[in-house]
Structure 1
Amino acid sequence: MSKTKRGRVLWTLPSHGRGTCPICGATRIKVLYTKVKSDGTALKVCKRCDKAPQSKVDAV
């Protein structure tokens, strides 16, 4: 059977979860993952930058 709820939460997010990644600068990409800078502020990043080292996150 198909899964009817898969991806449904994206429709409630602004722009359906898409935007510009602050780390790599990719546009119109899903920014769904949260990375925390060392000063405590949270960033929403893309899937590729979710694995980025902490030094790249702090440079933003």
Structure 2
Amino acid sequence: MAKSKRGHALWNLPSRGRGTCPICQNTRIKLLYPKKKTDGAVVKVCKRCDKAPQTKVDAVLI
């Protein structure tokens, strides 16, 4: 049987949680994973970039 509540929390996010990943520049992708920069800022990234090295995360301009 189908799960009707799966992904329901995404409906409350702007653009359903989608945007452009600041690391890989992929467009219309879900940005659900917060990554912390060394200066303390938090950046939301895609699933593939969640495992990116810290140097790439720090290179992101907010």
Question: Match of 2:45?
Answer: 45
Q: Deviations over 1:7-45 (max 9, x none)?
A: 001111000000000001001110111000000000000
The gaps in structure 2 that reach 5 residues or longer are none
SS at match of 2:5: coil
Q: May I ask how many residue pairs the two structures share in their alignment?
A: 60
Which amino acid in 2 is paired with 1:29?
A: I
* Aligned position for 1:4: 4
TM-score (ref. length: structure 2): 0.91
For residues 52 and 15 of structure 1, what CA distance do their matches in structure 2 show? Answer: 24
Q: Give unpaired runs (5+ residues) of structure 1.
A: none
SS in 2 for 1:34: strand
TM-score (norm 1): 0.93
Instruction: Provide the rounded CA distance (Å) in 1 between the counterparts of 2:29 and 2:2.
Output: 26
Identity %: 73
